[in-house]
Amino acid sequence: MSKKQSFKVNMFSSLLLVLIPLFSLLAQELKLDIKKNVLDNGLTILTCEDKSAPTVSYMTFINAGSREEKPGITGLAHIFEHMMFRGTKEYPDFDKAITSFGAQTNASTGEDYTSYFVNVKKDYLEKIIPIEADRVRNLVFTNEAFRMEMGPVKEERRRGVVDDPDGFIWDELVQTAYQVHPYHHPVIGFEEDLEKNIQVQDGLDFKRNFYSPGYTTIVLTGNFDTPKALELIKKYYGDWQKTPPPDLNIPAEPKQTKERVKNYVWKDSEISPKLLIAFHGPNFEIKDDDFCALELAARILFMSSGRLTKKLYNDLQLVEYISGGMGDRKDPGLFEISTSLKRGKSIDEAKPLILEELEKLKNEPVSERELEKAKNSVKAEMIYRMDNPLSVAYTIGHFQTAGGDYNLLFEIQKKYSEVTPEMIQQVARKYFNPENRTVLTLLPKK
C-alpha cells in the first residue's frame, strides 16, 4: 500500500495471512455471482454485482510482484505502484482527474501481485474506467519521474524497516528462510538497489513484460450493470497490444536441510524481545490438502482461546502477543509464528513451550471441538468480509492471482471442511521439523 497507505510492505503478507486466505465457505450461500470475461488480448475481467451497494469498486490486479524481480532490481514492482499515481500524458495529474468524484484510491504491492483500486459512487464508474485504463496502459516511466519517487520510497522503508523493529525482523526472516527464490528479498527492495542499481531500462522492461493485458485482471464489484461495464472496458482496453509472456525462470527454493538461526540486537532499549519461527510450507494452489490443514492448525494454536495464546499469553503471561498462520503464496510459503515477550521475560522461556506445542500436534490428534472452532472461524471471516464492494473485489482478485483461479474461493471451503484431526497430525509431522525451521530473535539494546 505504498502510494499513501503504508502497510509495512514486509508485513503485507502477514495481514493477508489473517484476512485473506480462507474465504469461500459461504460464497455460494452469499450468492456471489462472479462472471469471467477474457478479451482477445488476454485481459481478464471478473465482475460481481451487488445492487444494494451505493458504490462500485474497480480493482486492477497486475499479476507480478516482488516475485517477478531479479537480483539487482529489487523493489521495482513497488516503485511501479508509486509511479502509477504520477499521471500520464492524457491525465498529467491523476489526483486532479479523480478528486471531484470523491474516489477512494490506493494500491498495494506484495510478493505475488500488485493491486490498485478506485472506489466511486456508482454514477461515476464510466468516468473512471478511461482514467484507469490510461494509467495502466500509458504509465510514464521516465528516469526523472522514477528518481523523483525514490525519496518517498526510501522514507517508507526507513519508517517500516529501519526504525521499526517488527518490520526489520520480518525482512530478515524472509532473507534467511529463502536463499534462492525471489521471496528472499523484501517487497520494498534492498537499499542499494533503490539507490544505485535500478536503471530506467529495468523499469521499461518490467512495464513491457507485466503491465500488459495478459498479466492484468480487472475486478469490478458493487452496483453496476455488467454488460454496460464490459462494453466500456472493451472500448478502453480492447486495443491494448498483447505482448509475449516473459521468460521468468523463477528458481525453486531448494529443500532446507538444516535449522537456520539468527540473533539480532536492536538499536534502542525500548523494544520487547521478539521471536520469529518459520517453517517452509506448501503453496496456495490447493492441489493437496496441506495448505488448509496448516491454516487450521494455526488457528488451533493462535486464536484467542488457542493453545499457544492460552498458555503463553493468558496463563503464563510470558508474551505481549503471539500470532501465526500459513502464508498464501503462488510458490511455497512459510508457516510463521511471531511473538513479542513481556519486558524481563526471556526468549529461552517461550521458545521451548512453542516447540513443545508443535510437537504435541504431531503426537496427539486435536479435539473435534478445536477443529470445529477453527473451521467456524474460516467460515465467519468470509462472511464478515462481504460487507463492502472493495473487500469483495480484493477477495476475488486475491484468489485469481495468488491462487490462480477465482473459483478457489468456492472450492477451498470444501477442502477446509474435509480436514480431519489426523490430517493436522500429518502436516505437523511433515513440516514442523528442526531442519525445516528458521528462528530469528531481536533483543533490546542493553
Partner 1 sequence: MRNTGLKIILLSLICLLLVFSVDCSKTQKLKIIQVKKTEIPVVNFRVMIFSGSADDQKGKEGLAYFASSMLKKGTQSYSREQLEELLDFLSARIDISVDKQVIVVSGTTLKENLDKFYPLFSEVILKPSFPQEEIEKQKKEQEDGVNMLLQDDGELVKECLQDYIYKDHPYGHPVVGGLSSIKSFTRQDVQDFYNTHFVKDNLVIGLAGDIDENLVEKVRKDFSALKEGKVVHPEGTVQPLKGRKLLLVEKEGRGQTQFCFGHPVSFTRKDEKMFFPLYVANTYFGKHRESFGVLFQTVRTEHGLSYGAYSYIEYFRQAGWSNLASPNIPRREQYFSIWTYPKSINGKFTMKLVLKDLTDLVENGVPKEELERYKNFEINHFPFEIQTPQRKLGLLLDEEFYGNYGFVDNFEKNVKGVSSDQVNSDLKKYIFPDDIAIVAIVSNADDFKKELFSDQTVIEYPSGVDGASLKEGDDKVKAFDLKIKPEDVSVVKVSELFK
Strand partners, 339: 275, 322
**19, exposed or middle or buried, with CB in 10 Å at 0-12, 13-18, 19+?**
middle
Decide whether 108 or 400 has the Cβ nearer to partner 1: 108
Separation of alpha carbons 218 and 294, rounded Å? 31
Interacting residues with partner 1 between 330 and 359 (CB under 8 A):
342-343
Interface pick for partner 1 out of 33, 90, 195, 348 (rule CB under 8 A):
195
Residue 30 interacts with partner 1 (CB under 8 A): yes or no? yes
Q: Give me the 246-285 binding string for partner 1, x by CB under 8 A, dash otherwise.
A: ---------------------xxxxxx-------------
Q: Counting every residue, how long is the chain?
A: 446
- Which is closer to partner 1, CB of 163 or CB of 259? 163
String marking each residue 130-169 x if it binds partner 1 according to CB under 8 A: --------------xxxxxxxxx-xxx-xx--xx-x----
In angstroms, the Cα distances linking 143 to 23, 72, 148, 198 are 41, 17, 8, 10
259 contacts: CB under 8 Å, gap ≥ 6: 434, 435, 437, 438, 439
Q: CB of 295: closest distance to partner 1 in angstroms?
A: 15
For the range 226-231, what are the long-range contacts, defined as Cβ-Cβ under 8 Å and sequence gap of 24 or more? 226/35, 226/47, 226/49, 229/47, 229/125, 229/129, 230/37, 230/45, 230/47
Write out the binding residues for partner 1, residues 285-304 only, by CB under 8 A: 303-304
How many other CB atoms are there within 10 angstroms of residue 109's CB atom? 29
List the grid coordinates of 192.
542499494
Tell me the closest approach of the beta carbon of residue 254 to partner 1, in angstroms. 35
Least CB distance from residue 285 to partner 1, whole Å?
A: 26
Q: Are 58 and 132 in contact (CB under 8 A)?
A: yes
Q: Which is nearer to partner 1, 156 or 295 (CB)?
A: 156
Q: What share of the chain is helix, strand, coil (3-state, %, to 5)?
A: 45, 15, 35
Instruction: Identify which of residues 18 and 250 has a Cβ nearer to partner 1 in the complex.
Output: 18
Using the rule CB under 8 A, give the single segment among 350-358, 367-375, 402-410, 427-435 that binds partner 1: 367-375
Q: Residue 429's closest CA among 295, 290, 226?
A: 290
Q: How far is the CB of 141 from partner 1 (least distance, A)?
A: 13
**Residue 420 is which amino acid?**
T
Closest CB to partner 1 among residues 179, 269: 269
**Min dist. Cβ of residue 33 to partner 1 (A):** 14
- Residue 317 CA, chain-centre distance (Å), reads 31
The x, y and z cell numbers of residue 416, run together, are: 477446509
Amino acid at site 230:
L
The DSSP code for 58 is E
Considering only residues 398 to 427 of the shown chain, the ones binding partner 1 according to CB under 8 A are none
C-beta of 133 vs 161, nearer to partner 1: 161
Alpha-carbon gap, residue 408 to 400, rounded angstroms: 8
User: Residues touching partner 1: how many (CB under 8 A)?
Assistant: 76
Q: Exposure of 68 by Cβ count < 10 A (0-12 exposed, 13-18 middle, 19+ buried)?
A: buried
Among positions 96-135, residues that touch partner 1 (CB under 8 A) are: 96, 99-104, 106, 119-121, 124
Instruction: Output the CA–CA distances (angstroms, integers) from residue 258 to 178, 354, 359, 437, in the order listed.
Output: 13, 19, 18, 8
Q: How far is the CB of 169 from partner 1 (least distance, A)?
A: 13
In the region spanning residues 314 to 333, those forming contacts with partner 1, defined by CB under 8 A, are 314, 317, 320
Q: Give CA 51 to chain center in angstroms.
A: 29
Contact segment (CB under 8 A) with partner 1 among 177-185, 202-210, 306-314, 398-406 equals: 306-314
What residues numbered 198-227 form the site for partner 1, per CB under 8 A?
none
Residues 32-91 that bind partner 1 (CB under 8 A): 50, 52-55, 85
Cβ 73 to partner 1, closest distance in Å?
16
With contacts defined by CB under 8 A, name the span among 237-245, 250-258, 275-283, 365-373 that binds partner 1.
Answer: 365-373
Q: Based on CB atoms, which residue is closest to partner 1, 358 or 378?
A: 378
